[in-house]
Amino acid sequence: MGVPQIGCDCAVCHSDDPHDRRTRTAALIEDGEHTILIDTPPELRLQLLRAGTKRIDAVLYTHEHADHVHGIDDLRSFSLLQHEPLPLYAPPETARHLRHAFNYIFDAGVVPVRGTSKPSLTMQPLTADREHEIGGLAVRPIAFRHGNSEVFGYRIGPMAYVTDVKSVSASDRDLLRGVRVLVLNALWWREHPTHLSIPEAIAIAQDLGVERTYLTHLTHETAHRDLLHRLPPGIEPGYDGMKIEI
């Protein structure tokens, strides 16, 4: 729900620590020549303005939930600036959902009124556990379960981005071994039916032996400063605007 959470009077929601101001989860992957965006959350416009992003080569979607897709119309700026359709990639079910939910974008029969515009986007369903060249980078989607949905994590070279998963099987861990940086969802300290808890995320990161793990998708139940003190070495909370060099 983001932090502060609507209607909440807890200490974290009233914190003056800027690290405790959390928009919904997304990431930019940049190699100096190419930029890939992962997910389009509702605050996407504000996030990309803050990051100074002026070009996106491709967008990867993890799954179809509203907190990960409802900023899709803000991609309009990039298709206009770049004078070409922006390619999107997603799990098959997510691709179907986006085409239906945002049919004004993907239906060629929906023509903008003269003098107006709509995002120019293409949609390509992805196959899991096979490497794809996307936006100039080698990307390997890995399929996980998230409640009743299939969600994709993405391994890109020495890093992996895995959000909104409840478990990481032995076979999935084999696909993640060797990454140096892992971004992993960790909702809160207690268990949740569709997300990893913080203890579960710690156990996975330690089993993989990752050099650096950053926890994302955190809530108002955890203050950034408290997490810094409680997490083991090599694991820390991510925060809005965080930059990680690999």
Residue-range domain boundaries for the chain: 1-20+158-246, 23-127
Is the separation of the CB atoms in 98 and 119 below 8 Å? no
Question: Residue 148: which region, alpha, beta or left (left: phi > 0; alpha: psi -120 to 50)?
Answer: alpha
User: Residue 210: its pLDDT value, please?
Assistant: 96
Query: pTM of the entire structure?
Result: 0.96
Average pLDDT over residues 52-58: 96
Q: In this structure, which topology does domain 23-127 adopt according to CATH?
A: Metallo-beta-lactamase; Chain A (3.60.15)
| Predicted local confidence at residue 239, as pLDDT | 97
For range 14-25, the mean pLDDT = 97
pLDDT band at 114 (very low <50, low <70, confident <90, very high): very high
The helix (run of H) or strand (run of E) holding residue 213 is strand 212-216
Contact 142, 152 (CB under 8 A): yes
The Cα–Cα gap between 156 and 179 comes to 9
CATH 3.60.15.10 assigned to 1-20+158-246: yes
Task: Evaluate if residue 145 carries a pLDDT over 90.
Answer: no
- Asked if the domains at 1-20+158-246 and 23-127 fall in one CATH topology, the answer is yes
Q: CA nearest 212: which of 189, 233, 188, 242?
A: 233
The whole-number pLDDT of residue 129 equals 83
Backbone angles phi, psi at 82, to 5 degrees: -90, -5
Backbone angles phi, psi at 35, to 5 degrees: -135, 125
